[in-house]
Amino acid sequence: MKAIVINQYGSADELVEQEVPLPEIKDDQVLIELKATSINPIDWKMREGYLKEKLPYEFPIILGWDAAGIVKKVGKDVTNFQLGEKVFARPKTNPTGTYAEYVAVDQDLICKMPENSSFNDAAAIPLTGQTAWAALVEIGQIKEGDHVLIHGGSGGVGHLAIQIAKHFGAYIAATASEKNEDFVKSLGADEFINYKEQDFETLLNDYDIVLDTQGGETQEKSFSVLKHGGTLVSIATPPDEEKAAEKGIKTGYFFLEPDGERLQKLADLMKSNKLKATIGKTLPFTQEGLREAHRTSEEHGVPGKIVVQMNE
Ligand SMILES: NC(=O)c1ccc[n+]([C@@H]2O[C@H](COP(=O)([O-])OP(=O)(O)OC[C@H]3O[C@@H](n4cnc5c(N)ncnc54)[C@H](OP(=O)(O)O)[C@@H]3O)[C@@H](O)[C@H]2O)c1
């Protein structure tokens, strides 16, 4: 099958088209013929070699963590999926990544696509949508009336987090750069903060939940906007536990463990038009397409997600 792989760590120029063997499926796996995938910052971080200790895969590495496509083959223990069904998933492991014509995925990570979704729409959801849900719902225990601060409200995670928080009836403040103000407000943010010019720490207080997508100084300052008993959940770096205890703040940090049941909850929101990914750019499944996709993501060039569309 055709795949876009890296044979060594480095710049976007390391992404090359290569023929690789078709993945073999286990008894509880499904072979998905990919119609679309999307880009996440982990793709280029891994390409650069930042994560080589944490994710020590062998070359050639097929990057890519979001799948939308058609069921092509099922293992003998697969009960929930039929050949030809449209499905989406965040597969668990590389190197069987999604910059490829086919990917093998555990059945319990897969969900049927909502009928009102295109492959491109669906491919933009699994990793970032599940991350936003796990942070706000599972860790933050979000409820109606909560005050929620979402850092990076224009990004892949943040723009879905705003919609999820809105669905739960929260009051939402979101940070992003000035050019994305209208976009962030259109998603449901009640308050917009331009992180390049305004200091969110002096503008907000008594918040119930902060979703930290940045770490560093942003995380440091986030402590002071939370109320006693509030939750600081980070997807960037683990928060300082001592400081949290001093201030009576709960913390959370995780590296997403995908789950098909969680994805089903997102599919339900998609079905009822409460959750929709914004696709800032769509590129073709070619060597040049993937290189441009990575460069765009590295530069935070577009709001929302970058989708890579396979040939029909
Ligand atoms: N732990 C996990 O499981 C997990 C899962 C998913 C993602 N992540 C990580 O979470 C981060 C965000 O992911 P993503 O997919 O949303 O990335 P993304 O699509 O590239 O978005 C990045 C966002 O960060 C914003 N930003 C940049 N500097 C900022 C600052 N100083 N303060 C506030 N916002 C700032 C950008 O805003 P503007 O473009 O408006 O400037 C943009 O909205 C990445 O580092 C990613 O690796 C972790």
pLDDT tens across 181-236, in order?
A: 999 999 999 999 999 999 999 999 999 999 999 999 999 999 999 999 999 999 99
**Phi and psi of 215, rounded to 5°?**
75, -165
Å from CA of 153 to ligand 1 middle? 8
Beta-carbon count within 10 A of 255 CB: 9
Q: Which atom of ligand 1 is nearest to the CA of 180?
A: 40
The C-alpha atoms of residue 115 and residue 105 are separated, in whole angstroms, by: 21
Å from CA of 132 to ligand 1 middle? 11
pLDDT tens across 146-170, in order?
A: 999 999 999 999 999 999 999 999 9
C-alpha angle with apex 72: 68 to 78, nearest 5 degrees?
95
The dihedral sign for the CA sequence 121, 257, 58, 32: negative
* Pair of tokens at residue 160: 């879905």
Residue 116 has what pLDDT?
95
Å from CA of 251 to ligand 1 middle? 19
* Pair of tokens at residue 11: 């710049």
Residue with the two structure tokens 């491109």: 120
Radius of gyration of the chain (CA): 19
pLDDT tens across 19-68, in order?
A: 999 999 999 999 999 999 999 999 999 999 988 887 788 899 999 999 99
What's the number of CA atoms in the CB half-sphere (13 Å) around residue 54? 7
In this prediction, what percent of the chain has a pLDDT beyond 90?
94
Residue 155 has what pLDDT?
98
Å from CA of 213 to ligand 1 middle? 5
Residue 51 has what pLDDT?
81
Residue with the two structure tokens 């530069």: 299
Q: Which atom of ligand 1 is nearest to the CA of 234?
A: 1
What domains are defined for the chain? 2-124+277-309 (3.90.180.10), 128-253 (3.40.50.720)
Q: Which of 104, 124, 109 is nearest to 20 (CA)?
A: 104
Which region, left, alpha or beta, applies to residue 82 given φ > 0 means left and ψ of -120 to 50 means alpha?
A: beta
Residue with the two structure tokens 């099922």: 74
Å from CA of 76 to ligand 1 middle? 40
Task: Answer for the pair 143, 305: CB distance below 8 angstroms, yes or no.
Answer: no
For residue 282, give the amino acid letter: T
Residue 167 has what pLDDT?
98
Residue 210 has what pLDDT?
98
Atom 44, ligand 1: residue with shortest CA distance: 41
pLDDT tens across 111-122, in order?
A: 999 999 999 999
126 lines ligand 1 (CB under 6 A): no
pLDDT value at 312 more than 60: no
Q: Which atom of ligand 1 is nearest to the CA of 305?
A: 19
Task: Answer for the pair 274, 268: CB distance below 8 angstroms, yes or no.
Answer: no
* pTM attached to this predicted model: 0.98
Confidence of residue 94 (pLDDT cuts 50, 70, 90): low
234 lines ligand 1 (CB under 6 A): no
Confidence of residue 95 (pLDDT cuts 50, 70, 90): low
Residue 278 DSSP SS3: coil
Mean of the per-residue pLDDT values of the chain: 96
Confidence of residue 311 (pLDDT cuts 50, 70, 90): confident
Confidence of residue 107 (pLDDT cuts 50, 70, 90): very high
Å from CA of 25 to ligand 1 middle? 33
